Amino acid sequence: MEENKTFTISVYSENNVGLLNRISGIFLKRHINILSLNVSESEIENVSRFVIVVDTTEKWVQNIVGQIEKQIEVIKAFYHVDEETIFLESALFKIASNLLFDERQIQNIIKESHSEIVTVSRDFFVISKSGRRSEIEELHAKLKPFGIMQFVRSGRISVSKEKMEVTSLLLEELKS
């Protein structure tokens, strides 16, 4: 049996209401849990980019990417392992303001973790941290003993080291 790995799937597509449903259905059919999903604009005007992280075998990720590309509104899909991408996640921590003064080490934790304070109000302040999952988890572990009012972490966003040929594909289409 082939071993599971973390793969980042990048999908370039038309901006279409039903497409997310179509794409997630492909994972659902194979019982593959999506570890993270992010949809945003891409570098190309009016083209959306999905970044989907899954834990599966290379054979399955190949099949899945084939089935994703088959969807009418998908322009192109790629998959990469972690070493082939630059990726990060973002997290927000909401913490009671009094702790900033009562628990002095919090300031050091913030400084050492290279996170930043987004806002401070009378009742709470918000820390933002971007980076690898492990860095966010480490910060979470350090802040937890003081009490976190709210915590949220985004899906992975990533860019590939190699070129992903999408622009040229579309340009050719436009020319012809």
Partner 1 sequence: MKISGAEAVIRCLLAEGVDLVYGYPGGAIMPVYDELYKFQDQLHHVLVRHEQGAAHAAQGFARATGKVGVAIATSGPGATNLVTGIADAQIDSTPMVCITGQVGKHLLGSDAFQETDIIGISTPVTKWNYQITEADEIPEIMAKAFYIARSGRPGPVLVDITKNAQFDTLDFSYKKCTDIRSYHPKPVLKINKVQEAAEIINNAKKPMIIFGQGIILSQAEAELKALIEKSGIPAAWTILGLSALPTEHELNVGMVGMHGNYGPNILTNECDVLIALGMRFDDRVTGNLATYAKQAKVIHFEIDPAEIDKNVKTEVAVLADLKEALTALLPLIEKNSHEEWHNEFKKKYEIELDAVINEELAPTNGKGISMGETIEMINKHSKGDAIMVSDVGQHQMFTCRYSKFNQTKSNVTSGGLGTMGFALPAAIGAKMGRPDREVVAIIGDGGFQMNIQELGTIYQTKVPVKIVVLNNEFLGMVRQWQELFFDYRYASTVMVNPNFCAIAEGYYIKARKVTKREELDEAIAEMMASKDSYFLEVMVEKENNVFPMIPTGASVSDIRLS
Kindly tell me which residue out of 4, 14, 108, 114 binds partner 1, with binding defined by CB under 8 A: 14
| Tokens 């003081």, residue located | 146
Binding mask 134-173 for partner 1 (x = CB under 8 A): ------------------------------------x--x
Applying the rule CB under 8 A, the residues between 43 and 102 that interact with partner 1 are 62-63, 66-67, 69-70, 72-75
Q: Which is nearer to partner 1, 18 or 145 (CB)?
A: 18
Bin 143: left if φ > 0, else alpha if -120 < ψ < 50, else beta.
alpha
Binding-site size, partner 1 (CB under 8 A)? 20
How far, in Å, CA of 118 to CA of 110, rounded? 12
Kindly tell me which residue out of 8, 13, 115, 158 binds partner 1, with binding defined by CB under 8 A: 13
How far, in Å, CA of 138 to CA of 50, rounded? 27
| Tokens 């996170």, residue located | 115
Strand partners, 39: 50
CB 128 within 8 A of CB 90: yes
Instruction: Report the interface residues with partner 1, using CB under 8 A.
Output: 13-14, 18, 21-22, 25, 29, 62-63, 66-67, 69-70, 72-75, 170, 173-174
